[in-house]
Structure 1
Amino acid sequence: MATDDPIRASDADRDVVVAALREAYTAGRLDIEEFDERMSAAYASKTWGDLRRLTIDLPTQPLLGTDVPGRHPEPQAPMPLHRPLPAPAPTDDPQELPVRRRRSPIGVLIPLAVWILLVSHGTLAPGMVFLFIVVVVLVSISASIRRH
């Protein structure tokens, strides 16, 4: 049990608890009757202990006393939205390590620059422009497929 349960609750404390109850209702953790009962009890609460009892069965507990000067409660770590993936087993073989490569824009920029130079100097026939674009698109797609 917390030692600061007898501290008188402020309106800000009550609002924080009602917001936590509203989130629980929105997430489906409370039905409408239970939410209404707890919300009424929160606004009628006199102490932090009374407020804590309203949210004791919820996954996150509201921070009380944030409006008290000089009191800086420890912020709660946010709950993860999903379970973290297990870490891969350590291996000495560099072939087995997953490699994540960033996509480089140079593969598109160089052909584009060559194409612009050829078109601007008039050395590329109009029919060749279409063929050049098709080849660049196909090369980009095949490079993307090989990476995955």
Structure 2
Amino acid sequence: MDRKELEKVSDFLLGEENTAYAPYFIGKSYLGVLNTKEAFIANVTFEPGCRNNWHIHHGDGQILICVGGRGWYQELGKEPQAIKSGDVVYIAPEIKHWHGAVQDEAFAHLSLSVPVEGASNEWCEPVTDEEYMKLK
């Protein structure tokens, strides 16, 4: 998708291509940092088919507020959950999970977290094409 199309996915800042985290994503994503005071808030936009690797937030949780398009969220050991604009997902600390766009539509969510001293992200294995292509 071109940048103009992606800017229409949500009303929030698209930001720049998410190159810093590209090794942990399949496909292209964009990161627009909205706030760094007290709570970190960023708009993450996924091109169609883009998803992040399985990962774990150690020491802090995360809240996803879906703001455009359609996507997927899955916790390890649970069924994938279809998510869309208006949905809110709370991810407790220490839960292995992934999220991203559906195959044929871009997706954007706000990612919120409160900085906690010593907190970290553990990036794990990718969501394979075989697993991902089964999602309907």
TM-score, normalised relative to structure 2: 0.22
TM-score, normalised relative to structure 1: 0.21
Higher relative contact order (CA 8 A, sep 6+): 2
Task: Identify the structure with the greater helix proportion.
Answer: 1
Largest Rg, 1 or 2: 1
Task: Identify the structure with the greater strand proportion.
Answer: 2
